[in-house]
Amino acid sequence: FQICFLLFAVLYIVSYFIITRYKRKADEQEDEDAIVNRISLFLSTFTLAVSAGAVLLLPFSIISNEILLSFPQNYYIQWLNGSLIHGLWNLASLFSNLCLFVLMPFAFFFLESEGFAGLKKGIRARILETLVMLILLALLILGIVWVASALIDNDAASMESLYDLWEFYLPYLYSCISLMGCLLLLLCTPVGLSRMFTVMGQLLVKPTILEDLDEQMYIITLEEEAIQRRLNGVSSTVEYQTVELERELEKVKSKKTNLERRKKASAWERNLVYPAVMILLLIETSISVFLVALNILYLLVDETAMPKGSGGPGIGNASLSTFGFVGAALEIILIFYLMVSSVVGFYSLRFFENFTPRKDDTTMTKIIGNCVSILVLSSALPVMSRTLG
């Protein structure tokens, strides 16, 4: 229990700093709105920490298995055993269900609630409205899933099993959401793999081959001064011209900032880091595509290659990779790479472009939506990793 608590505490602290980095700085608010925002922030932080734990579970299980194989009798790693790993998986599943079906809907409705008309305004009225909305949402989802199950499998036993809320209904609903997460991952990951090169190109300093940065800096400075003079000369009554000129000025300032960063960068950062990172991305992408293609070929020609569920040799009994510790390390790197690529691909899709969080300018509602999306993607990552081999 202490180990699980310490791991989650670290993830919670990291998640809190990530969310506060993007959360819009609150203006002068009433005490009631400040309390509601703070509660929603804590619930979103908890959800993001659970998502991070779900992502880390598979790599943690792989590395724990290899450590137990290498040092089976070591006194200092006796705490690392199969019961701990299975306990972490059960806790991750429990907390994922809790965040997905209770905490995040509560945070959203609580943030949007104002209290029922005729009741005294305050926190209690908003909590009452939120609980009523949650009950109505639960009844709606229960009815939809019950009708869908009756249409797909018109059997009395299957419909009666839906009355068993804890043993069947919630796991069934969570499996449906994991399936949607897998479909979303399969859509986002290829887009993310292609976008990773562009994103890293924007973050890193490119080599200055046959480029004169001083000349480009001089040109961009003249352009900025010209736009600034035009902006000062435009009458304030012509609003559309002012908006267009301000937009052009922002673009020019952004280009100038990038040029200044490139000019200040050291020679090794320009000529060594950028090519090395691009080559590493190319190698990781090639290995990922090769392993997925190889696994699909195995699935087509060999029935024994099909995933057989959770049954296996157990933790610390056999290596999960043919190449031992090196293969396990490669698998962990590829799992993280696939997750990062899927997140990049998710925010690169046209439908979710406006969903991207911005530093110090993200509303609490958008943060809740981002936390739910990342939770769905992270809960589907182990399933997709197992399916793709």
Query: Is pLDDT of 166 > 60?
Result: no
Task: Give the whole-angstrom CA distance, residue 335 versus residue 255.
Answer: 35
Residue 86 phi, psi dihedral angles, 5° rounding: -65, -35
Mean of pLDDT values over 307-317: 56
User: Do residues 182 and 384 lie in contact, with contact meaning Cβ atoms separated by under 8 Å?
Assistant: yes
Q: What angle do CA 64, 65, 70 make, to 5 degrees?
A: 95
User: Do residues 249 and 224 lie in contact, with contact meaning Cβ atoms separated by under 8 Å?
Assistant: yes
pLDDT tens profile 206-258: 666 656 666 777 777 777 778 777 777 765 555 666 777 777 777 777 777 77
Query: Is pLDDT of 3 > 70?
Result: yes
H/E segment holding residue 92? helix 82-98
Residue 265 phi, psi dihedral angles, 5° rounding: -65, 145
State the chain's mean pLDDT as an integer: 77
Q: What residues does each domain of the chain span? A: 1-200+310-388, 208-264
Q: Which residue has the higher pLDDT, 88 or 47?
A: 47
Q: Which residue has the higher pLDDT, 352 or 130?
A: 130
CB-count burial class (<10 Å; 0-12, 13-18, 19+) for 381:
buried
Query: Is pLDDT of 131 > 80?
Result: yes
Task: Find the helix packing angle between 31-70 and 364-388, rounded to 10°.
Answer: 20
Give residue 28's pLDDT band: very low, low, confident or very high (50, 70, 90).
very low
pLDDT tens profile 343-356: 888 888 888 777 78
Query: Is pLDDT of 262 > 80?
Result: no
Q: What is the pTM of this model?
A: 0.76
The pLDDT, as a whole number, for residue 13 is 92
Among candidate residues 387, 366, 384, the one with its CA nearest the CA of residue 376: 384
Q: Which residues pair with 23 in a beta bridge?
A: 362
Burial profile 38-77: b = 16 or more Cβ within 10 angstroms, e = fewer:
ebbbebbbbbbbbbbbbbbbbbbbbbbbbbbbeeeeeeee
CA 244 to chain centre: 35
Mean of pLDDT values over 298-323: 62
Residue 271 phi, psi dihedral angles, 5° rounding: -100, -10
Mean of pLDDT values over 338-347: 86
The pLDDT, as a whole number, for residue 333 is 85
Query: Is pLDDT of 127 > 50?
Result: yes
Give residue 115's pLDDT band: very low, low, confident or very high (50, 70, 90).
confident
The pLDDT, as a whole number, for residue 164 is 58
Give residue 113's pLDDT band: very low, low, confident or very high (50, 70, 90).
confident
Q: Which residue has the higher pLDDT, 87 or 9?
A: 9
Mean of pLDDT values over 71-76: 71
The pLDDT, as a whole number, for residue 26 is 63
Q: Which residue has the higher pLDDT, 235 or 53?
A: 53
User: Do residues 92 and 53 lie in contact, with contact meaning Cβ atoms separated by under 8 Å?
Assistant: yes
Mean of pLDDT values over 29-52: 84
Amino acid at 223: E
